[in-house]
Amino acid sequence: MAVVLETRGLTRTFGRVVAAEDVSVQIRSGERVGLVGPNGAGKTTFLNLITGYVRPDHGRILFSGKDITGLPPRVITRMGIVRSFQIPQIYSTLSVLENMLLALAAREGRGFDFWNPLRRSRAIEEAMELLASFGLTEYAYRPAAELPEGGRKLLDIALAFALRPIVLLMDEPTSGVSTKDKFVVMDTLMEVLQRTGVTTLFVEHDMDVVYRYAERVLVFQNGRVVADGDPQTLFADVTVRRAVIGWE
């Protein structure tokens, strides 16, 4: 598969902290990549660099071969690199469907004319389809506050999908979800990813989740990628295992 995302020598320091050091990776189209490593290893910074929220001191970021280094986050999002928990947030008092319609409106910008009846019914149709693919149909007309934690995570991801991602970035998509529900969230997400071919990078602390859902793992330590490979091989490696011990 073609390389969709590439970083070359990405480096970023905050004062004395080296949050990213010479990070060079190539992500191929459709890959599901787990980002792991201890707290403060630079996983979130890596996502922030890719989405344009943090600028690198050195290095380049290429998206489908195009240099996107230094572009504003909203431009990068519009190109197809979307992060969940980004925009828009979930409004608890609005219904799940209304939340989705707001996400679609955000995507369309000024072109979104909700008072045009045809446009409105198309938007509702698209919103309902998105909710259905994430198993949220039964919650469509209920306030988002009534969603169980797993459902809330799925809505977060579904809202990101409203922005039509080519690359989806997630920072701990299952945090705060019970072990049982984690697998429901991930199974649902994986089915959508499989169907749409969206490339995914996700930060995850639960190694069971990583082992089961990542086809490739990047291990971060002190701002560097210290290991890169499939989870079976990586977790069999003594050095990696040693690094794994002590992870929260």
Ligand X SMILES: Nc1ncnc2c1ncn2[C@@H]1O[C@H](COP(=O)(O)OP(=O)(O)O)[C@@H](O)[C@H]1O
Residues that bind ligand X (CB under 6 A): 14, 17, 19, 37, 39-45, 220
Angle of CA points 144, 149, 154, to nearest 5°:
70
User: Of 92 and 175, which CB lies nearer to ligand X in the complex structure?
Assistant: 175
- Burial code of 210-219, b = ≥16 C-beta within 10 A, e = fewer? beebbebbbb
Letter for the amino acid at 110? R
Quick one: 72 or 197, whose CB is closer to ligand X?
Answer: 72
CB of 165 to ligand X, least distance (A): 21
Show the site string, 26-65: x = touches Mg ion by CB under 5 A, - = not.
Answer: -----------------xx---------------------
Q: What are phi and psi of 166, to 5 degrees?
A: -100, -40
Taking the complex as a whole, how short is the minimal distance between the CB of residue 14 and ligand X, in angstroms?
A: 3
84 binds, among Mg ion, ligand X, none (CB under 5 to 8 A by kind): none
**C-alpha span between 136 and 126 (Å, rounded):** 13
With CB under 5 to 8 Å by kind, the binding choice for 41 among Mg ion, ligand X, none is ligand X
Nearest CA to 159 out of 214, 81, 93, 106 is that of 106
Taking the complex as a whole, the smallest distance from the CB of residue 6 to Mg ion amounts, in Å, to 22
Q: Is the peptide bond preceding residue 173 cis, with omega within 30 degrees of 0?
A: no
Residues that bind Mg ion (CB under 5 A): 43-44
